[in-house]
Chains A and B, each alone.
Chain A
Amino acid sequence: MRLMPRSRRLTVSIALAAAALAIQPVLLEAILVAPHAVFMDHRSRTGQVFLVNTGDTPEEVSIDLKYGYPATDSTGTVFIKLIDQPDSTEPSAAAWIKAYPRRAVLAPGQRQVVRLLATPPAGLPDGEYWSRIIATSRGSKVAVVGGDSTVSAGLTLELRTIISLSYRKGAVHTGVSVTDLRANRHADSLEIWFGAERQGNAAFLGTLVYELVGEDGKPRDQWETPVAVYHPLSRRYVFPLDSVPDGRYTLRMRLTTARNDLDQRNILPAEPVTRSVDVETR
């Protein structure tokens, strides 16, 4: 973006980028972080994360570890709660897991392995300890071309990718209890409030399946979403009722540890939980 006095037209530098776009796609910034969930154990005390610059400009990437977990706000919206200074009751691994390197500049196409090394405190009790890995990438600045003394400007982009890290020591087990299940029609959608608390000493990672069943016992619609319970949650889900005629239904909820996005060896088993609640969609 270029800015000139009122009488003169401002020519935008990014117009060059737009011109380039007309020729072929430009990936201003593109960073791949994998896996999306890292699991470490007390025997190996190591882990790794892959970073790949899939764009066509250099990327400066930094890695930070911070204690955090999915939580919900008063509106039932999920967010990643990051805590800089967790108290001693929180199972934080952020302070004793280090990433090497913590900073790298990746050329286009370059892949970087980030090694994770844990040095847990002596006498660490059995259990699961958590952190979040934050990969922040900053691409090269948008080119600003100023051919004279006019004013120019440009926006830069910072991409932050947050993934989970779980460190397991000794016997770990998990479970979940459902503390709330309410459903009602809200405009043209089904609003569901779902509350859950973790049991055991490890996070519950599973899948939540909702099924809307008619009075005739036939399923009318189904929704499925992965869920993670670290601390008590009170989630609000909204699903469209487009294909569901008005009427009385039963909402069946099933919460299991089935996950197809995670290595099954990292899945901690737990008893499925089922609940149901009546819903009127008139």
Chain B
Amino acid sequence: MRAAALLAAGIAAACLPGATGWAQQGGRPLSAVSRQMLDFGTLFSGTPTRVSRFDALRAGQFELRGFKNSEVRVDLGLPPALTGPKGAKVPLQFTAGDGGYARDGVIGTAAPFDPRSALVTTLSANGRLYLFLGGTASPAARQPAGTYAGTVTVTIAYTGT
């Protein structure tokens, strides 16, 4: 199933204009890829769980692809809490060190940024930018049972057009 999807993606990509073609269409493509959502893993009631942005298995990981050396602005819309049954919430905290970005994709050497503020930076020489996101979930001691959900919004824009 996945192989078929990847094959379809490959065929679709092959049918798209090349670099010159994109320029003739007016500009280059801009794409965003979510490689992994922030995953708080196993939680204990009443015990906050922090996921580091350096955690390769649980940190949120995003990749932007665009024109080389272009300046982009990235805004993260972070939920203050996960919402569950009857409005019950599991609070989330994001602090200044919970965001990281790298042009080479290496999570361990990613530069820090505050995910609560915008990130304005440039794509790499091959048009890539990798973002990493950590955070803290703080379930209450008597957290009601049910399904909890939240939405992270990633907004990207070129600043030069």
Residues of A within 8 A of B (CB): 1-6, 9-12, 14-15, 17-18, 21, 24-39, 48, 50, 52-56, 70, 77-80, 107-111, 132, 139, 141-142, 144, 146, 149-164, 205, 224-228, 261-263, 266
A25 x B35 contact (CB < 8 A)? yes
The one of B16, B30, B58, B146 in contact with A18, judged by C-beta atoms closer than 8 angstroms, is: B58
With A77-B120, A160-B156, A162-B155 already in contact, the answer to whether A151 and B5 are too (CB < 8 A) is no
**Residue from B2, B12, B69 in contact with A52 in the complex, judged by beta carbons closer than 8 Å:** B12
Residues of B within 8 Å of A152, CB to CB, are: 147-148
B8 neighbours in A (Cβ, 8 Å):
107-110
Q: For residues 4 through 42 of chain B, which have their beta carbon under 8 Å from a beta carbon of chain A? A: 5-13, 15-17, 22-42
Known contacts A3-B90, A205-B161, A262-B23; is-contact A34 B73 (Cβ 8 Å): no
CB distance from B57 to the nearest CB of A (A): 6
Q: Are B160 and A151 in contact (CB under 8 A)?
A: no
In the complex, the 8 A-B pairs of residues with the closest C-beta atoms, listed nearest first: A109-B8, A226-B160, A153-B148, A108-B5, A34-B29, A35-B27, A109-B9, A32-B31
The verdict on A266 contacting B26 (CB below 8 Å), with A6-B141, A21-B57 known, is yes
- Select one of B36, B145, B154, B159 contacting A21, CB under 8 A: B36
Cross-chain contact B82 with A153 (CB below 8 angstroms): yes
Q: Given the known A-B contacts A80-B157, A153-B147, A163-B158, are A32 and B23 also in contact in the complex, defined by CB atoms under 8 Å?
A: no
In the complex, the answer to whether B35 meets A28 with C-beta atoms within 8 Å is yes
Residue contacts A-B, CB under 8 angstroms, 29 given: A10-B42, A10-B44, A12-B41, A18-B57, A31-B32, A32-B29, A32-B31, A33-B30, A34-B16, A52-B12, A54-B33, A55-B9, A78-B159, A79-B73, A80-B157, A109-B7, A109-B11, A151-B143, A151-B145, A153-B149, A154-B149, A155-B82, A156-B149, A156-B152, A159-B32, A159-B154, A205-B160, A226-B70, A226-B159
Contact (A36, B33) CB under 8 Å given A50-B16, A54-B9 = no
Q: Give Cα A109–Cα B55 distance, bound, in whole angstroms.
A: 30
- Collect the chain A residues with CB atoms within 8 Å of residue B149's CB: 141, 153-156
Closest to B140 in A: A3
Contacts A29-B34, A151-B144, A157-B34 given: A12-B39 contact, CB under 8 Å?
yes
- Residue of A at shortest CB range from B143? A3
> Are A261 and B27 in contact (CB-based, < 8 A)?
yes
B151 CB-CB contact with A under 8 Å: yes
Q: Is the CB of A226 within 8 A of B33?
A: no
- In the complex, which residues 119-161 of chain B have their Cβ closer than 8 Å to any Cβ of chain A? 120, 122, 137, 139, 141, 143-161
Residues of B within 8 A of A35 (CB): 22, 25-29
Considering only CB atoms, which chain B residue lies closest to A208 in the complex? B160
Cβ contact of A36, chosen from B40, B67, B118, B120, cutoff 8 A:
B67
Whether the Cβ atoms of A6 and B35 lie closer than 8 Å is no
B114 within 8 A of A: no
Given A6-B46, A161-B32, 12 further pairs, Cβ under 8 A: A6-B44, A28-B36, A31-B31, A32-B31, A36-B30, A36-B161, A56-B9, A144-B147, A153-B82, A154-B147, A156-B150, A263-B26
